[in-house]
Chains A and B, each alone.
Chain A
Amino acid sequence: MPVSQKKNINRAISGWLIMLPTLILFAFYVWEPLLKIIQMSLYNAQGFTLTEFVGLDNYKSLLANPDFTIAWKNTFMYTFWSLIIGFCVPILLALLITETPVFRSLTRVAVYFPNILPGLAVMLIWLFFFKPGNAGVLNNILATVGIKPLTWLSAKGWTIPLIVVTMTWRSAGSTALIYMAGISGINPEQVEAATIDGAGIIRRIFSVILPSLTGLVKVMLILQIISVFQILYEPLMMTNGGPNNASISIMMLVYNYAFLHFDFPKAAAVSVMICIVLSLFTALYFVVSGRRGKE
């Protein structure tokens, strides 16, 4: 065997040996569990052990469960409201922080700040703000302007939008930073050329800055849908799915099946469905972001 070929084989082996420990971790924590939930969803189980193969029975009985339909509907409502409330906020923040004459770095740091707070702590704080009756912080604030106390999260139509508001409060800042980086990547000459053509500052935003962000906006849109689709902690902590299942999400259904009823196959079946939907979104993400890379 020629020396160079032997050397190549050695290099390949050492490369794979370096990858191996991390690949084992990925297999153990990410890939194998994904395969396992597919398998589990097709079986009956007694506690932790799988007993008999039942085919698609778990899926069938899920479809007959009214909670299942409600959870999907709610998950779409979360996504809908997060697009209404949460999607524009980071773009507006990024534009604002780019254009403000003072407080630029202070606001930048401030909007990012809630991101580093543990989600759990944030939800507990907001629970006190949304408390119904006179003890609630927001009701106190409303009282000073003479508005009667509201019931906030316990009012059926309000639960999902309010949860989305707290999510936006916590995470809008980090998305805004990404948009800001996008804005600062725009060639300044483009803006100046528009100025020479007589465009005012508003016109420049709409005809130069926003159009150059389109690719980024599409990517962030899909990423946001993906992340809202898995919403679990917020309803679990803030409302426990209530009032009367009004805020139960599809991931929360997984949690309830697995850790309240210990019905692992059903939990797995719901997870598989979520993974299928998320895989579709992921494929879309790669199409959009790949196209953006080529542009």
Chain B
Amino acid sequence: MNDQKATSLREPLFHLTKRASISSAVAWLIRLAAVIIGLAVSGLIAFLLIEKLRLNPKEGIAKFYRCFYEGIWTEGKPFWENRSIWKFLKDTAMLLCIALAVTPAFKMKFWNTGAEGQTLMGILGAITVAVWLVPQARNASMSVPYWTLQLLMFGAAVLASTVWALIPAIFKAVWNTNETLFTLMMNYVAMNLVNMMLFIWRPKDFTLPSMNFDKLSFQFENLKSFVNNYLVIVLAVLALTFILFIYLKYTKHGYEISVVGESVRTAQYSGISVKKVIIRTMIVSGILCGVAGFLFASGLNKTIKPDDVGGNGFTAILVSWLAKFNPFGMIVTSALITVLNLGSAEISSDFDVSSAFPNVLVGIILFFVIGCEFFINYKIVFRKRSNRVKGASIK
């Protein structure tokens, strides 16, 4: 009777406490474990969904996991001519670039879900300049100097993205309008705007809403074509990563951002103008989105479609958050997500499944990665043995 009462009063089997600190090595180990478990589970789900895999399980599973490697490396090709690895580097760089753009805002807990639209506006800005300027010059039988055009496109891209980022920021700063929903809606306004512009620009004999401008790409004659475009992009984004790291860590602006992120009150008491910080930080975000938009417009696509950013604006949020807003960590996380994307695209072509299959795999693995953050932030403390038992063992 007495015993029963004692058990009912015992503390619960375990409780949670926030970890004061965790070594980054352990944190990355936990994340690695999550990715591995995620891969295992996604293999299981694939087994249920893909008939080809069930027919020949042993070889199928081996081939399934091999696809993640084949997605980023074509066998038997040297590095500089290996199309897969360069596609991987380019995709990673573009994702990283947009992730860099959302990071400063996230660090001050401004939930910008509008990177998709902001980048798209950057593309639109750059393309608008090209569409407007090139024919005009041609009519006047002149040609626009290459670097002048690039510079103008860059300026327009940055301007358009910044405006798109600035609108929600001003409302947030002045009236505390919910920025998550505001920026989310701005994405769709941007997409419809692109649709409208495509309609306005359509050639008379043209039905598809997409167009091509061959003359506008980066041209570097001494290296092979697809490598050099991509190399410039990768180097540019790496430089941006470095700059953003310094901006966030070693400048007064970066310090103010992290104070606002920690506590708006503290910021106010210490004389930081929160409004100014919000607006300034979103300008930085907008500029970076503009750079990404310019790279898309001028370096890669030379054209525009409403789905050009392809969900990267949303994935960038994951990249940034998984890396705890550390620009160098984001290199790792964006590479991880790109590997998953390319690998599962390879799977869907090898096993004849719907082209939407990559989303399923990436989703499953990311569930585990998101879930594992819990074990990085919190510690599970199990109930200590009751005193009586302890006392007995001492005796």
A and B interact? no
